[in-house]
Every structure is written in C-alpha cells, then in structure tokens.
C-alpha cells in the first residue's frame, strides 16, 4: 500500500488505510483502503475499519489510537485532482477494539499529530466545509488545533498564532515542548512558521524558521533536540507530491528553545 498511517500502540503496531491501487478503479479514482493490520506477537491480523484514508497521522496514548486523517478520495479531473478529505478524528480503544469519531474543528484534514504519551495535539490542516464539486472548491488552510488529555478524557480547542494557518505541518515532542514547524499555505507555497506549545506552562509561542519555507517530511528526537529534515513545497493542486526537495535540517534545542540550521549529507 501507498502511504498508510502507522503507529505503535500498547497492544501492537497498527497499519491503517493506504492506497492499494492508484489507477482509476472502476471510474472511482484511487482505491483507498478501509482496513487496518495489527502486528502482534510476530503475526499480522487484518480487520475492517469504519473509514478509509491515506497520508494522515496517528498517535497512541494510554490505550487509545487517535487518527487525524488525510485524503479518502483522489481522482484526476480536468488538469488537477478532485479530492475529499477525511475530516473526522477517529479514536480506537485497544481494549474494546471499538472505533468512535468526533468532527475536527474547521472540518479539516492533513492535520499534524503529536503526543507525549499523556496529551495529544492535532494542529492545522486543510478545511473542507463542503464536499468539492470539482477540483479544489471548498478548501482553505486552517489554524485550528485540538488537545486531547488522556488523563481526563477531555478535549480543548483553540487557534494558532496569526499567520499560523497551514497544512502538512511537521510536529514532534521533546522535554515538554510540542513543536509544529513549516507546512503549506498554498499550491507550491511553503510556510516559515513555527509554533511551540509548552505543556508545563500551558502556553504557546511562535517564531519563523531560520532556513526558509517548506513543508517538512520528517522529524525525530535525539537527546534534547528535535531534527526536522528535508521536505518540499507541496503540490496542493494534485494533493500529492511537490517540487524543490530540500537538504536542510532545522534543529530545535529544547534547553534553549532555539533553532539552528544544518544540511543533510545527501
């Protein structure tokens, strides 16, 4: 499958959705899976799930898998892609094996998702207030965020700082800081915005990337640092791929809450 959502939970590794055929299947566009595979004790088990999506994000915390979906429909249409996003946030209880859902703020998809094991934050994305009639009708970037507290099983919502609206944000957590970096604000137009949530003080700050704009593809924690590596300017007309691959690494130091810039070897 192409671009499934993968996450490690308490009871196994979960592989959710994905595109299993990217031809125009029976005139209905790409075949997006409504299945989930669970890897546990050396074995895979496949089950059906109540939604289909690919290219989204998921987090695991205290026995729950929470999925912020990507697309659920993609079909080539008159020089661009006709797409529909999965705008619900889906919640899987590992103990009961039951899915529930809640509408996302702004009816958005392509949100980032990050957790410290106790709380999870879902930020940004593309809003879809109505199903597009053709190509890109009904889409705009969102600055909304949702915070789920697993200790109280409660949700709070808010908005990122001015200029924070964007999709395809790269997000990571380190030493109490939730860092949301880069993203896309338009077709082949990246964002320089960085939003940082301090879970110890329940406060947000913002700054701009030192190395310029882009939607970053990957981030990882190493010691007291987060490395945001590579990325592109996303293609929001096709909702897939993009141009100008980058070799930059933005390095966030959680001790000083500052960024420095490095470069990938390749």
Q: Could you read off the pLDDT of 55-91 as tens digits, one per residue?
A: 999 999 999 999 999 999 998 877 777 888 999 999 9
Rounded Cα distance, 75 and 3, in Å? 16
- Provide the pLDDT confidence category of residue 266 given band limits of 50, 70 and 90: confident
Q: Could you read off the pLDDT of 188-209 as tens digits, one per residue?
A: 999 999 999 999 999 999 999 8
Rounded Cα distance, 229 and 57, in Å? 17
Asked if 53 and 88 count as a contact pair (C-beta separation under 8 A), the reply is: no
> Greater confidence, 173 or 130?
173
Look at the alpha carbons of 131, 80, 218, 7 in this order and tell me if their dihedral is positive or negative. Answer: positive
Q: Could you read off the pLDDT of 242-255 as tens digits, one per residue?
A: 999 999 999 999 99
pTM of the model: 0.94
Rounded Cα distance, 88 and 17, in Å? 14
pLDDT, position 251: 95
Rounded Cα distance, 77 and 239, in Å? 12
- Provide the pLDDT confidence category of residue 35 given band limits of 50, 70 and 90: very high
3-state secondary structure of 25: helix
Rounded Cα distance, 42 and 110, in Å? 31
- H/E stretch holding 155 reads strand 154-159
Q: Could you read off the pLDDT of 110-165 as tens digits, one per residue?
A: 999 999 999 999 999 999 865 554 445 557 899 999 999 999 999 999 999 999 99
In the predicted model, is pLDDT for residue 177 greater than 50? yes
Asked if 96 and 106 count as a contact pair (C-beta separation under 8 A), the reply is: no
């Amino acid at each position: 499958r192409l671009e499934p959502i993968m996450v490690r939970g308490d009871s196994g590794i979960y592989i959710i959705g994905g595109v299993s055929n990217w031809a125009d299947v029976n005139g209905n566009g790409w075949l997006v899976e409504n299945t989930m595979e669970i890897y546990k004790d050396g074995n895979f088990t496949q089950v059906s799930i109540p939604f289909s999506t690919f290219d989204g994000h998921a987090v695991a915390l205290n026995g729950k898998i929470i999925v912020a979906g990507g697309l659920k429909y993609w079909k080539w249409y008159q020089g661009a892609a006709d797409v529909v996003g999965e705008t619900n946030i889906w919640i899987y209880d590992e103990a009961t094996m039951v899915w529930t859902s809640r509408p996302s703020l702004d009816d958005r998809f392509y949100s980032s998702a990050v957790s410290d094991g106790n709380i999870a934050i879902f930020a940004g994305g593309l809003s879809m207030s109505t199903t597009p009639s053709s190509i890109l009708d009904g889409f705009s970037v969102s600055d909304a965020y949702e915070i789920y507290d697993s200790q109280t099983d409660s949700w709070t919502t808010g908005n990122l700082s001015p200029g924070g609206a964007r999709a395809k944000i790269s997000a990571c957590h380190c030493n109490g800081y939730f860092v949301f970096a880069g993203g896309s604000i338009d077709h082949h137009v990246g964002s320089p915005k960085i939003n940082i949530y301090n879970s110890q003080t329940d406060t947000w700050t913002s700054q701009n990337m030192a190395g310029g704009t882009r939607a970053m593809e990957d981030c990882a924690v190493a010691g007291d640092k987060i490395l945001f590596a590579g990325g592109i300017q996303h293609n929001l007309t096709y909702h897939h791929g993009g141009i100008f691959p980058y070799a930059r690494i933005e390095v966030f130091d959680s001790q000083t809450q500052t960024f420095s810039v490095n470069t990938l070897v390749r």
